[in-house]
Structure 1
């Protein structure tokens, strides 16, 4: 059974036999306790082309110390990683193998580096004797196991204890710097070992010249593909908001393929886009249930007790749990499928050999601004159509289509922002406001359908359906209010200067 630990640490360069300065008197530190020396032996695994290292992941099998076993470290932020631990075994545990799937795809992981470390450990304690941080001096010997060389170095590592204040790390760093000890340039032992024993993962040469549309579009596409890959293990681990972030990345990527058809050959991107649509749909089952359940819970909590008739909270809880479990199974089945694996292969192939068209060689500002204006004009047409319809299901559907167009226009503006700067920022701000209004309206439509279903189930169980009816009425009023806001909001968002700002 694996467990997870949030690891917040800082690494420092140290000469061999480094003299750690006196740590007494550091703010908050009441005592420093010597924990002795331990011998650690770790073999690091990766694909032959170092895909894990390229994504700043590390996978090791370590013996020695208090946490022997398999460790997978996933980046969270600079200096922060989640370490997933599994018991020591001869082969890679299946639980960790699944978390690597989006990175390694069909490749096997093999031993690439062996690190043997002599670790001298000290615990920094507060006045109550609770652990604040662990400081270790590591003397490391690295052996490349795939035809490389050897390396050796000494480093100092300071790791924050669970729930401790990160200010402790700042105070320790200040003391180390006064002693002439500087932060390490290597983000991890593995990164340093690879660099010093034969080289780490290599960056492919740029497929398009800087300043061109191809260069700008591929940078955005690469960012979204990396997000899809990176959020895969987070979704499997049920990290909060991971499903939403992965779904957004698939949508942004699919939208970019449509927006930049003058730059990327649609004969390649259209089939990939269809697979991205499938993946977003599978992820959407879970995400939509999350949003719906939270909205219904908030609406119930806002009602006075006098309007709560029957076991409404219990019914909503059971309804939400059942649908959440079904959604979870749907998502995991999708991520474990051959179809998802094939999609990841195609995304990797697209980056390796981008299907660039003639416009990819043109100046980026001109091409990206034109594409954003085109998506904005598409949004305008859908808004006009929706506003011309009377209230009812047809208008609801038209407003939903306008919402999707607003999302695409917003993504176009976001992708163009590194090139176009402030004009794109203003464009995104206004389109996002329209999208938010349309999104609230669509959420109201979906929520009303769910409320009707809850009312029918309550009635069938001989419970009062009154509360669900009250909420239905409030949702209908909320949806109508957003419809009334839209014309004025659209007039502000579609002011001539907004579109003109994207002219090049």
Structure 2
């Protein structure tokens, strides 16, 4: 929220961001904005040094011009998606250029004093028309800001439209109610990028590229609730970064990464189940299962089309694959799914589970306990890969996948075990890949995919080397062992 006077102000903004297509802007205004609401031109410039000092220290610095008023704002960067809660430091200044003297009471004061911000330059520029109004929801007051315009960085630009809902007073959970009301009237999507994020991605060209899972920063000073919410936001951000590439271009690698993001999120639900299971938990889990199921056939057919096939078989599979993608796009575009993402961020922040004693406990002890449970589900079965039937092998693959994701989520809790963690993680990935290839052979038959020759058959020469690969990967895994146990003992002073 902008400062209302020339004095510095420090506040905590709580906002929820929604994205929409430009074609839906008029519909949103007609449905929600009061009569007489007018658009005001707004220019925002983000600054950093050539060495990206601000980004490396975890802050953004912007100056926003609205008519003849200039407000300079410092905010910490965030990994959150959709729902943001963070401190902001605002000062009214005299021009669009940053005023270093006005940063004396901000977290950047030491950087100014050391001369590290002497060479600030503009890195991102946003030009929008902003239409604003206030909503009354459940006794709470919410600022609605609809921005439509462009953002430019390093010679690249992008048109965008987004709606920011910011709590002015009252219950933060009312932001969720307001967002759901918008989503039921207009096809909006959960926004996962700040303007600073968007500018950086536009400038680097990354918005046009596939987004793999980014590192998840779960710290040892976090509670279980904070850790889970951090993981959930990371998964949603990965999904939403890939979704436009599926919707617009049907990119198969983007679909794969979107599916991975959903799998990771479902694994997080399982990993944290004892702490987060409340009245909404099962509903949300089943909705995630439903949506993940909509992506499966298209992804499987993409994989099988990479095999050597006759022209006739390939043509038939392409028709099936295109139909499967139609199904995927319909699910992604559905109101059911768009509302689900909003429900997820709201539940993670305000769900009844957060009021329980477990949610407030430190994540480190909990993580060690849950990793031990996962390891026990893998250890004994993994020693007998060659003797397993398809169903048991499939269950092992699922547990291995959960272990891989759990390690990726929690690795920052064990900095002293970096080498062992990397070895363990590599072996887990190898085992998952081998079991996945074995599963592909079995799945091909259930989908009626042309099998070509006997090498597709379970028990064939094509399967045996994969079993040997899986055995070697498990031996490597067992050789490293549960690295987190020693790391946890050392951190807790038990060693």
TM-score, length of structure 2 as denominator length: 0.55
Cα pair distance change 1:497/1:230, threshold 3 Å: closer
Q: Quick one: distance in 1 between partners of 2:377 and 2:279?
A: 22
Deviation of 1:413 (Å): 0.8
The answer on whether the counterparts of 2:256 and 2:299 sit within 8 Å (CA) in structure 1 is yes
Runs (5+) with no aligned partner, structure 1: 1-47, 60-71, 73-85, 98-103, 118-138, 145-149, 156-179, 301-311, 390-394, 456-467
The reply on whether 1:343 has 2:269 as its aligned counterpart is no
Name 2:41's counterpart in structure 1: 115
Q: Counterparts of 1:49-60 in structure 2 under 5 Å?
A: 51-52=17-18
Distance in 1 (alpha carbons) for counterparts of 2:220 and 2:410: 17
> Does 184-193 or 427-436 show the bigger shift?
184-193
- Name the structure 1 match of 2:122: 184
Task: Give the conservation status (yes or no) of the 8 Å contact 1:224–1:250.
Answer: yes
1:61-115 Cα deviation digits (max 9, x unpaired): xxxxxxxxxxx6xxxxxxxxxxxxx7xx8x6489xx9xxxxxx9xx968978532
Quick check: 1:440 aligned with 2:434? Answer: no
Aligned to 2:460: 476
Greater Rg, structure 1 or structure 2? 1
Give 1:224 shift.
Answer: 1.3
Query: Given the superposition, is the C-alpha separation of residues 211 and 480 from structure 1 closer, same or farther in structure 2, using an over 3 Å criterion?
Result: same
Is residue 373–residue 502 contact of structure 1 (8 Å, CA) maintained in 2?
A: no
What are the superposed Cα offsets for residues 306-339 of structure 1, whole Å, 9 maximum, x if unpaired? xxxxxx2x21331232111110121122223343
Cα separation, partners in 2 of 1:243 and 1:475, compared to 1, 3 Å:
farther
The 1:93–1:198 alpha-carbon spacing in structure 2 relative to 1, beyond 3 Å, is closer
Partner of 1:427: 424
Q: CA deviation at 1:292?
A: 1.5
Contact kept? 1:142, 1:151, Cα under 8 Å: no
Residue 50 of structure 1, CA deviation: 6.0
| Partner Cα separation in structure 2 for residue 263 and residue 429 of structure 1 | 29
Secondary structure at the residue paired with 2:40?
Answer: strand
Q: Give CA deviations for 1:326-373 in whole Å, capped at 9, x if unaligned.
A: 101211222233432342242132133142343333332221122122
Give the equivalent residue in structure 2 for 1:255. Answer: 267
Compared CA separation, residues 496 and 473, structure 1 to 2 (3 A)? closer
Match of 1:271 in 2: 283
SS of 1:237's equivalent in the other structure is helix
- Within a 5 Å distance, the mapping from 1:56-455 to structure 2 comes to 92=25, 113-115=39-41, 142=67, 182-184=120-122, 188-190=126-128, 210-238=221-249, 240=251, 241-294=253-306, 296=307, 299=308, 312=310, 314-354=311-351, 355-356=353-354, 357-384=356-383, 386-389=385-388, 395-421=389-415, 422=418, 423-447=420-444, 453-454=449-450
Q: 1:182 deviation in Å?
A: 4.2
Query: SS state of the match for residue 477, structure 1?
Result: coil
Q: What is the distance in 1 between the residues matched to 2:242 and 2:32?
A: 21
Equivalent position SS for 1:369? helix
Residue 462 of structure 1: aligned partner: none
User: 2: CA distance between counterparts of 1:433 and 1:108?
Assistant: 52
**CA distance in structure 1 between the partners assigned to 2:424 and 2:222 by the alignment:** 21
C-alpha distance in 1, partners of 2:302/2:226?
37
Inter-partner Cα distance in structure 1 for 2:226 and 2:119: 40
| SS of corresponding position for 1:51 | strand
Preserved contact between residue 209 and residue 361 of structure 1 (Cα < 8 Å): no
User: Which residue does 1:9 correspond to in 2?
Assistant: none
Deviations along 1:431-489, one digit per CA (max 9) or x if unpaired, are 11211111121123334666x7536xxxxxxxxxxxx2266479932322111232332
Aligned residues of 2:403 and 2:428 also touching (Cα < 8 A): yes
Matched residue SS, 2:273: coil
In the alignment, structure 2 segments of 5+ residues that lack a partner are: 1-13, 44-63, 70-91, 98-117, 133-142, 146-163, 174-218, 490-495
Does the 8 Å CA contact 1:406/1:431 hold for their aligned counterparts? yes
Distance in 1 (CA, whole Å) between partners of 2:331 and 2:432 is: 28
Equivalent position SS for 2:41: strand
Is the Cα contact below 8 Å between 2:262 and 2:292 reproduced in 1?
yes
Q: TM-score, length-normalised on structure 1?
A: 0.55
Alignment check: 8 A CA contact 1:382 1:401 kept: no
- The SS at the match of 1:263 is helix
